[in-house]
Structure 1
Amino acid sequence: MFTYKKIALPMILLTIVLLVSGCGGSAEPITADTTGIWNHYFIFPLSWVLTSVANIFDGNYGLSIVLVTIMIRLALFPLTLKQTRSSKAMMALKPDMDAIKQKYSGKSKEEQQKMQLELVEVYKKHGINPVAGCLPLFIQMPILLAFYYAIMRTEEIAAHTFLWFDLGQTDPLFLLPIIAATTTYFQAKLSMKQGTEQFKLLIYIMPGMILVAALAMPSALALYWVVGNLFMIVQTYFLFIRNSEPIDVKA
């Protein structure tokens, strides 16, 4: 049954992304003299890393985007691992959670309060914080958004080519947008297998958003999305699919 509750949390997350992205909405080139905390301490350092890596490879900014994207994802891996452990712990407790919810299946306010108290007691017993899996996401988000704007606002990138496309122009063959949307779908599909029904709606929303954006934005950004998605697909496979044993919770 389609209800507001099923889409509330996904919509809140998308709204947060849009609000946070507004902090760096300027398309002006980023330099060391650009003012503002968000610009000076988040976007410019990543722009500097992009330029430095490109200079190592004879000004190859496409390769720089690939390598720096992988470097950032590797740096964020401990947070992802923490989020994964929390998700697996919650999965291990799902039968207990379902039993409690079935026990208090009534709609009365009193029954709902009793259910919440009993759920909290189960979390405490096993030493699990139900929101712990979300915290790494909110730490990663500003870093990934800053890197997005670093790519968009590093002026030198637009003047270079990589493979068959100009980094500052849309892909003339439309391959990158299609690949970006496709990899977004598979990455979301793998991730949402471990999530709730509320999040599964995003499997279909996110690829569409990425496709529309990639068709209109410079290829440098589509390249970033493709590399990031491929990394996350491999990471999700090894963390969840291949290593499918749930993490033991405290007795």
Structure 2
Amino acid sequence: MTEKPPSVDLRTGEPHPARVYDFYLGGKDHFGADREFGQRVLSICPPIRPLALANRRFLSRSVRVLAREYGIVQFLDLGTGLPTSPNLHEVAQGIAPESRVVYVDNDPIVLGHARALLTSSPEGATDYIDSDVVDIDRIIQQAARTLDFDRPVAVSALALLHFLPDPKPAGLLARLRDRLAPGSFLTISHVLPGLQKVADAYQGAMGLGTLRDRDEIITLFGDFELLDPGLVAPYRWHPDLDPAEQDGDALAELDDLGVCAVGRKPAS
């Protein structure tokens, strides 16, 4: 007889960052408290929804560029969040079926959706690690079951680091960068001080939200070399690859709200 997984208190009466983000994206994995909080945030800052959607499209474009132009077939996704198709492995394996992808999150709500993330192509592999992202040494140890860290790996931390207080992001990324092989990549998206009122709302409801300016975000890449076009709003990162990003004038309000970039570890 198959054992039932342990029950988890999803605390559906309280807003949850992953579910609220799912609400912004137009998903279905959220509850009344998440929608109520999300609507309050949208009343404070209506562009938060197009920013979330642009960030999700940036994920797909960045993975496509790394797979097609740089031959990357290994991906480590930190702070995965709720699955919203297309997921990272769907994009990567759609280009290179042999791609191997490891997702990391410690949220019981995300863990409950893990099976949706673990449908790999026959040629490739996916894995899921239940871990706090700050425990980077444990993550690398477990990810090594699926990924070869002697070869390039693309690490993504999207809409994640602004939930961690200083100095945690700098410390964990420094340890991570040291463990990656030359030719590896680090992809980051992060909100800017223009979202102070939104951060205040998150702090009040969930005790979360750490804003950083552009210079502080760039330092998170260490000595990694940023790919063109550098640190920009998500819709400005290779918009030519996505028809949804072609009308830049309509998205210009996002320029002071969030940024993204992809950095590459130089040769030794």
- TM-score tier, shorter chain, comes to under 0.3
**Structure 2-normalised TM-score?**
0.24
Structure showing greater radius of gyration is 1
Structure with bigger strand share is 2
**Structure 1-normalised TM-score?**
0.25
Structure with bigger helix share is 1
